[in-house]
Amino acid sequence: MSWVLLVFAGLLEVVWAIALKLSNGFTSLVPTIVGIFFLGDPASVVRIVSIALIISGVVGLNLAGGATH
């Protein structure tokens, strides 16, 4: 049973890495929108507000400056 859980965790890591690449480091909303509209992810008010707070936080941090590339 332990090996099954270990293999399952490894597969989840692969899925997570692919999803992160598709979202371009969480800079793209398309994977989120696809998840909500096509994959059956629940789109409750709390989820939508949370996404809006994350986006506003990222925008606020970028506007505050300090980011060097």
Residue 54 inside a domain? The answer is: yes
Q: What span, in angstroms and rounded, lies between the C-alpha atoms of 1 and 17?
A: 25
pTM over 0.85: no
Question: Which domain, by its residues, includes 8?
Answer: 2-64
Examine the pLDDT at 16 and tell me if it is beyond 70.
yes
Residue 69 inside a domain? The answer is: no
Structural domain count, the chain: 1
| Single-letter amino acid code for the residue at 10 | G
Residue 34 inside a domain? The answer is: yes
- Tell me the pLDDT tens digit for each residue of 30-64: 777 777 777 777 778 888 888 889 889 888 888 88
Residue 66 is predicted with a pLDDT of 67
Task: Provide the token pair at 47.
Answer: 């989820």
